[in-house]
Amino acid sequence: MTDIIPTPDLPSLPIEDDARRFPVRRIFCIGRNYADHAKEMGAAAEAIFFMKPSDAVTTASRVPYPQGTSELHHEVELVLALGDGGAIMGCAVGVDLTRRDLQGAMKAKGGPWEIGKSFENSAPVGLLRFGPVPERGAISLKVNGVRRQSGDLSEMILPPRRVLSELARYFTLKPGDLVFTGTPAGVGPLQRDDQVKAEIAGLPPLEFTVS
């Protein structure tokens, strides 16, 4: 039996010093995992989970400004890449792009966030580095050379392994899953032609231009 449509290709991430790639199965995200970010959003410092589709991942140097919004925001995050048994294989720098106006409208209605969070190219991710997950270290994001976000990984309400432990209560974590672990304060708008540089100490930086 053959499929009625072509089987979609999985997006994948480049791996540092390795010709192989990391195929992406699912993307789990955690919101409000830094108290200062929760405060700036007017929300309780209470970690909550949501998801993005795998095709939200992009490694392109130019990321298109999404349709349907006039308020695109950046959120720099540590990204975990999972292997067998849900174990962490490596980490990367990621940016959770958010259609903030649409997210806000859904919050006001008490509805789900997908329209604000789960669109194509909404999860730029940098080069994946295999090895242990960092528990502390600077995390920051600049737009056109001006620092917007800065913090430390140690400020997470739920550190990376606690994030996985909580997720595992509700999902069977699989090889190829990515986990975005939350963002520090300083999120803000992006415009076309903005140059973004996201950094986490000890990991390859992520750079892209909004087009």
The pLDDT assigned to 45 comes to: 67
The pLDDT assigned to 48 comes to: 87
**Residue 5 banded pLDDT, cuts 50, 70, 90:** very high
Q: How many other C-beta atoms can be found within 10 angstroms of the C-beta atom of residue 132?
A: 9
Element (DSSP H or E) covering residue 11: none
| Single-letter amino acid, residue 36 | D
Q: How many other C-beta atoms can be found within 10 angstroms of the C-beta atom of residue 22?
A: 24
pTM: 0.95
Rounded average pLDDT over 42-60: 88
Q: What whole-number distance in Å separates Cα of residue 58 and Cα of residue 12?
A: 8
84-110 pLDDT, tens per residue?
999 999 999 999 999 999 999 998 998
Pairing mode, strands 206-210 and 62-63: parallel
Q: What whole-number distance in Å separates Cα of residue 92 and Cα of residue 130?
A: 9
pLDDT surpassing 80 at residue 38: no
**Residue 151 banded pLDDT, cuts 50, 70, 90:** very high
Catalogue the long-range contacts made by 151-154 (C-beta closer than 8 Å, 24 or more residues apart). Answer: 151/34, 151/36, 151/184, 151/185, 151/186, 152/184, 153/78, 153/200
pLDDT surpassing 70 at residue 1: no
| Single-letter amino acid, residue 30 | I
Pairing mode, strands 27-31 and 178-180: parallel
List the beta bridge partners of residue 99: 72
Rounded average pLDDT over 186-196: 97
